[in-house]
Chain A
Amino acid sequence: MDINNKKATRQSYGEALVELGKINENIVVLDADLAEATKTKLFKEEFPDRFFDMGIAEQDMISTSAGLATCGKIPFATSFAVFATGRAYDQIRNNICYPNLNVKICGTHAGITVGEDGATHQMLEDINIMRGLPNMIVMSPSDDIQTKWAVKEASKIKGPVYIRVARLATPIIYDEKTEFEVGKAVMFGEGKDATIFATGTMVAEALKAKEELEKENIFVRVVDFHTIKPIDKEIIIKCAKETKKLISIEEHNIIGGLGTAISEVLVENYPKNLVRMGMKDCFGKSGNAIKLLEYFKLTSKDIIKIVSQFSD
């Protein structure tokens, strides 16, 4: 991972839609007046007839997507994560998940790295509410390469998929040849001192921490959960057995997100303590994205601090 080679996953999402549009004419994209920010404008420019701006009306956007799906289209309904999932929850539940319709929902600008816009726009509960819906698959890719894979893969799944991406540019972790599988997390290293389970923007932070810790002869492994539902049970149990300590980190409330999903697996299969890093049941605030990560203790340094405490 070259930490200076960065791209925002929302940009990758927009680029992936264009590629997908070229190979599948059933792909249609809907946005709610945020095409510039969510990067769906890339698709709009290439395929104006298959792009629908629904105006500032997320509920209408989601239900319209359901109607399109009943007629064989594969809609990608897009907005900021807070509006795409929160504002339109009932529509997602009753129009998409219950009838199991082939609609993809992408929430961009997830987490606190939205930055200056502040708490109203920083979605910290989307994994929680999307994960709780039967039939819904939840994806939270960590970099450019993985996001492009997730978008393509989502289009092949016949049913609802939620894809969570971020505003902030983050390091490109994978090379283009990397292969992923839905529901199979990616493990970095085999360190036995601790496992850091991470998702989305936090994977790069975890990898930075891993590298730093190695200099002090502390060996951790990092697990990248690009899919949160279905969760990769095997890897959680394996890491619980093989490593001394477990940490989860996410740009999401610690209630209901990745940490909770991992806890559910642990408690039923291999009870073991888990330190959940994330937003501690609080809302975000305005500020520079990097400074916010520091403020809410979601950086590689904070991970290192917690792992070092274990060794003391």
Chain B
Amino acid sequence: MLNDIELQNFKNIAHNVRQSIIEMVYNAKSGHPGGSLSITDILTVLYFKEMNIASPDDENRDRLVLSKGHCSTALYAILAEKGFIPKEDLKTFRKIDSYLQGHPDMNKIPGVDMTTGSLGQGLSVSNGMAIAGKLDKKDYRVYCILGDGEIEEGQIWESAMTSAHYKLDNLCVIVDNNNLQIDGKIEEVMNSIPIDKKFESFGFNTIVINGHDYNQILDAFEIAKQTKGKPTAIIAKTIKGKGISYMENKVEWHGKAPNDDEYKLAIQDLMNI
């Protein structure tokens, strides 16, 4: 269990990240707020408790692959909180002179472990990192964040087979299960449910949690670390647009920027949490 100080600290960081997400998308007049807000609490725990990353260049650091790369705003915001990129640079997101590309670019952005954007490929990449870690007898861990719509890509299941086949217990998959994709609810567009059973049958240790509960997130990572001989998949039940009243569970906020009034309302919402 987290103590009150740690809990408050997580809340403060997540609040800052959510505010940065809204500001970035508002300034860029484009981007993907919904799914960024749903992974904010998970990223907060990863970057401020779970992951061992003293420096983004350390060969022994834990790695994170944001396979759902369109949620780059959440990643950039957390990297800024971490101090890997200057916070003021977030204003330049998606602008022509900026290094903060629409989707994460490992060669331009310190702290980005893999370039992503084309969906369904990040788990394979994470497997490669995990295999390399085993070959080199290093004890870093690899985290991979997938979207629940993203897992409709066939390659996800090729790579899920690989994770289990090569017994990658240094790998932890997190499925951001917010139940929405661009065209609607996942069960209506292309039903990927039951997600936990699918990963389980592919040979994963699976854990279903509330992806906004810091204690549950932390406990799941702890179980993942203790699980030997197989990879872990955490199915995180989340709310798309979490924290912004009018965005929550609304599919239209997958990839849309708020206008002036909506921006003000969003900032107000965040004050009230």
A interface, CB within 8 angstroms of B: 28, 49-50, 52, 54-55, 57, 59-60, 62-73, 75, 90-91, 93-95, 98-100
Contacts of B158 in A (CB 8 A): 54-55, 57, 59-60
B132 at interface, CB cutoff 8 A: yes
Confirm or deny: B162 has a beta carbon within 8 angstroms of a beta carbon on chain A: yes
Q: A177 to nearest B CB, angstroms? A: 35
Task: Decide if A70 touches B162 in the complex (CB within 8 Å).
Answer: no
**A99 in contact with B155 (CB, 8 Å):** no
Q: Which residues of B contact A52 (CB under 8 A)?
A: 131, 166
3 closest A-B pairs by CB: A67-B128, A63-B124, A71-B132
Is B193 located at the chain interface by the 8 A CB criterion? Answer: no
Pick the most buried of B63, B129, B161, B166: most chain A CB atoms within 10 A of its CB. B129
Interface-lining segment among B39-47, B78-86, B115-123, B208-216: B115-123
Sample (13) of A-B pairs whose CB atoms are under 8 Å apart:
A52-B131, A52-B166, A60-B159, A63-B124, A64-B125, A64-B128, A67-B132, A68-B128, A70-B132, A72-B136, A73-B128, A95-B115, A99-B106
- B126 — nearest CB in chain A belongs to which residue? A67
Q: Known pairs A68-B131, A71-B136, A91-B155. 16 more at Cβ < 8 A?
A: A54-B158, A59-B155, A60-B124, A60-B161, A63-B125, A64-B125, A66-B114, A66-B128, A68-B128, A70-B63, A70-B132, A91-B118, A94-B115, A95-B124, A95-B125, A100-B107
- The answer to whether B121 touches A95, judged by C-beta atoms less than 8 angstroms apart, is yes
Considering only residues 108-148 of chain B, those with a C-beta below 8 Å from chain A are: 113-115, 117-118, 121-122, 124-133, 135-136
CB neighbours of A68 from chain B (8 A): 128-129, 131-132
Closest-CB distance, B116 to chain A (whole angstroms): 8
User: Is B125 within 8 A of A57, CB to CB?
Assistant: no
Q: With A57-B158, A95-B115 in contact, is A71–B128 under 8 Å at CB?
A: yes
User: Is B136's CB under 8 angstroms from A94's CB?
Assistant: no
Q: In the bound complex, do residue B131 and residue A63 qualify as a contact, i.e. CB atoms below 8 Å apart?
A: no
Closest to B162 in A: A60
- B107: chain A residues at CB < 8 Å are 99-100
Contacts of B126 in A (CB 8 A): 67
A158 to chain B, nearest CB (A): 13
The reply to whether B118 and A67 contact each other, CB–CB distance below 8 Å, is no
Q: Within 8 Å of chain A (Cβ to Cβ): is B105?
A: yes
CB closest chain-A residue, reference B160: A60
- Asked if B131 and A70 sit within 8 Å, CB to CB, the answer is no
Are A63 and B132 in touch, CB under 8 angstroms?
no
Contact A72 B114 (CB under 8 A): no
Q: Decide yes or no: A69 and B114 within 8 Å by CB, A57-B158, A99-B107 being known contacts.
A: no
- Chain B contacts with A in 49-80, Cβ cutoff 8 A: 59, 63, 65
